[in-house]
């Protein structure tokens, strides 16, 4: 599994990323009060398969594989919520939509957290903070910088007296597999190996931020990760390719009004 992707592989990932963004945008457009998680999941899978892709999350794992195309996580659910649940979205909810696909035997990955109808100003602030921290992390990506610089930049964009950054969840390399080396923390730390960023790396950057503690728990379904204190959570993610000058977003985020 090569850490560096060729120009041809990045071109194919760019195509996959465009299809993934299209599928996620379609789910975002449907995400309104009264719609079920299962309906969003079916729509995202329809768009992926119509474009020649294969959902990368569905069937992921060992003896108990993940059952849906989308990870759908509501309010205090951080990530990995099962998308085929018949849970109805309600006015005021915030919902994380995380999605991945295979196209041309290459994987891309992305996520967005969306408001369902009108949401509180506190939830709007959480979503904006998480989204801004993602872009802050992206801005330091260039050949010669270090993976740890990304986490430092993400943390600098978050008021940690007001919000929690989930430390147990990290970004990752992506392309030849859904999850590749290196791990990409979303906070300042020296606990991970020092990895220099190089042209041709493809990275999934994905901060997860809460309105409370950074501590997490796993729901009884074995997949859904929630905040231990019941506080709200938000998650944004893009796949990028490292270029000579900096980076290219391969999975443009959907249009979301926050």
pLDDT tens, residue by residue, 125-154: 999 999 999 999 999 999 999 999 999 999
Indicate the number of domains in the chain.
1
Is residue 2 situated within a structural domain? no
Is residue 198 situated within a structural domain? yes
Is residue 258 situated within a structural domain? no
Q: Does 104 count as an annotated binding residue? A: no
Is residue 256 situated within a structural domain? no
Is residue 108 situated within a structural domain? yes
Is residue 255 situated within a structural domain? no
Is residue 83 situated within a structural domain? yes
Domain that holds residue 60: 7-249
Q: Does 235 count as an annotated binding residue? A: no
Helices 7-30, 37-50: crossing angle, 10 deg rounding: 140
Asked if residue 48 lies in contact with residue 55, where contact means CB atoms within 8 angstroms, the answer is yes
- Supply the pLDDT for residue 1: 57
Q: Does 228 count as an annotated binding residue? A: no
Q: State the maximum Cα–Cα separation within the chain, in Å, rounded to a whole number.
A: 48
Q: Tens digits of per-residue pLDDT, 35-50?
A: 999 999 999 999 999 9
Residues in the chain: 258
Q: Does 183 count as an annotated binding residue? A: no
Q: Does 43 count as an annotated binding residue? A: no
Q: Does 220 count as an annotated binding residue? A: no
CATH number at residue 204: 3.90.230.10
Is residue 254 situated within a structural domain? no
The structure's pTM equals 0.96
- Supply the pLDDT for residue 3: 87
Per-10-residue mean pLDDT, the chain, length 258: 90 98 98 98 98 97 92 98 98 98 98 98 98 98 97 98 97 97 95 94 98 96 97 98 97 93
């Amino acid at each position: 599994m090569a850490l560096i992707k060729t120009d041809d592989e990045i071109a194919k990932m760019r195509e996959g990323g465009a299809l993934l963004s299209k599928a996620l945008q379609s789910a975002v457009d449907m995400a309104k009060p009264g719609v079920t998680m299962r309906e969003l999941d079916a729509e995202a899978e329809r768009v992926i398969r119509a474009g020649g892709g294969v959902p990368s999350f569905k069937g992921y794992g060992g003896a108990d594989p993940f059952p849906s195309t989308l990870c759908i996580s509501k309010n205090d659910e951080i990530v990995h919520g099962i998308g085929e649940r018949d849970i109805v979205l309600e006015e005021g909810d915030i919902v994380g939509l995380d999605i991945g696909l295979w196209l041309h035997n290459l994987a891309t990955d992305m996520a967005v957290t969306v408001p369902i109808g009108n949401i509180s100003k506190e939830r709007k602030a959480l979503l904006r903070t998480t989204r801004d921290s993602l872009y802050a992390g992206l801005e330091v990506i260039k050949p010669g910088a270090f993976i740890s610089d990304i986490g430092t930049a993400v943390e600098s964009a978050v008021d940690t007296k007001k919000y929690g950054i989930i430390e147990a969840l990290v970004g990752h390399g992506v392309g030849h597999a859904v999850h590749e080396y290196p791990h990409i923390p979303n906070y300042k730390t020296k606990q991970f190996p020092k990895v220099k960023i190089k042209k041709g790396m493809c990275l999934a950057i994905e901060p997860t931020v809460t309105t409370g503690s950074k501590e997490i728990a796993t729901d009884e379904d074995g997949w859904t990760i929630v905040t231990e204190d019941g506080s709200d959570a938000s998650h944004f993610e893009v796949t990028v390719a490292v270029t000579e000058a900096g980076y290219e977003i391969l999975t443009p985020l959907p249009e979301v009004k926050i």
